[in-house]
Amino acid sequence: MRKLSPKESHIQLQDTFGEKSPSLATVYNWYGEFNRGRKTLSDEMRSGRPADAVNPENIQKVKKIIKNERRIIIDEIMSYLDISRGSLHAILHEHLLVRKVAARWIPHKLSEEQMTTRVDWCKFMIRKFDHGRSKLLNTLITGDETWIYQYDPETKQQSSVWLFPDDDLPQKLRRARSGNKQMVASFLSKKGHVATIPLIEQKTVTASWYVNICMPQVIEKWSILHPKAYLTSLQWHHDNASAHKAALTMDFFAENGIKLIPHPAYSPDLAPCVFFLFPKLKKKIKGFISIVQKRQDWLIMGPSKT
């Protein structure tokens, strides 16, 4: 019988086991082991934790831990039992068949055309900024507005729980946020935090506030970060809120030569402030403290501290 090379063996394994076949690197490793005189496929004894942590004892321990604390995270279970992530993954998903779930609110069901527009926009941004390598990123500002609440309920991730196959889906009372709140507009660039502008005397973002109060302060802070840059080199990105699309706002861009980066409709998940900045900052300031203190913490932390 002709001896197969590692590559030929790997091809045959793929034909037989498909996605479950070992990688080419693993095949090469085992060829090396056998060439060095190894006779068995079993793991050799070694010091430290047991070679196989996926055993009935650990399976029962994990099951008990999850039943007692449905919101426990992977790293905590690993620490309690001193087992690897791979072993714990096998216990959770191959033996206990558990999954972690949480409810999710869907703000808008997108049409096929809107979904296509989102994909086209992403491709446009990748080309325009050369996969993040373009110097044009240095002139880009992105921003959005959000509420800061004195009390803010736990996030979706914080409220997710482990479920066994026969468990019912969890239900959660929708506890209201505190009525004491503060609206802020935050902006960031490649260099980090540019500016955060609180709405002190009003609760609604209007085109007048955005153009006459917010944008001038942001531009001033941006000019400090980029003292040699011309205002006409500035690129501005925000979503499609009414204040952002108003004629007054568009006139401001035109008069100052500021380039506006478009944003696809109903796509908050594509806005950096929404999917990156705000969740990180809000997670750090949850709790029952004064709204003034929350605003100060928000201003102090900024995107660069997340």
User: Is the pLDDT score of 143 beyond 90?
Assistant: yes
Instruction: Classify residue 292 as left (phi > 0), alpha (psi -120 to 50) or beta.
Output: alpha
Contacts of 247 (CB under 8 A, 6+ apart): 207
Highest mean pLDDT among 34-48, 91-105, 192-206: 192-206
Sign (positive or negative) of CA dihedral 209, 244, 295, 180 = positive
**DSSP secondary structure string, 121-132?**
HHHHHHHHTGGG
- Given a cut of 80, whether residue 45 has pLDDT beyond it is no
Task: For residue range 144-189, list pLDDT tens digits in order.
Answer: 998 887 655 555 555 676 677 777 766 554 554 555 778 899 999 9
Q: How far apart are CA 152 and CA 290, in angstroms?
A: 12
Q: Whole-model pTM above 0.75?
A: no
pLDDT at 262 over 70: yes
Percent of residues in the chain assigned helix, strand, coil, to nearest 5: 50, 10, 35
Rounded-to-integer distance, Cα 296 and Cα 206, Å: 23
On whether the CB atoms of residues 241 and 145 are closer than 8 A, the answer is yes
**Residue 139 pLDDT grade (very low, low, confident, very high; cuts 50, 70, 90):** very high
CB atoms within 10 A of CB 28: 15
Q: How far apart are CA 86 and CA 76, in angstroms?
A: 14
For range 279-292, the mean pLDDT: 66
Average pLDDT of span 106-125: 88
pLDDT tier at 293, thresholds 50, 70, 90: low
Fold of 131-305: Nucleotidyltransferase; domain 5 (3.30.420)
Domain boundaries along the sequence of the chain? 1-42, 131-305
Tell me the C-alpha distance between 163 and 232, whole Å: 54
How far is 220 from 234, CA to CA, in rounded Å? Answer: 12
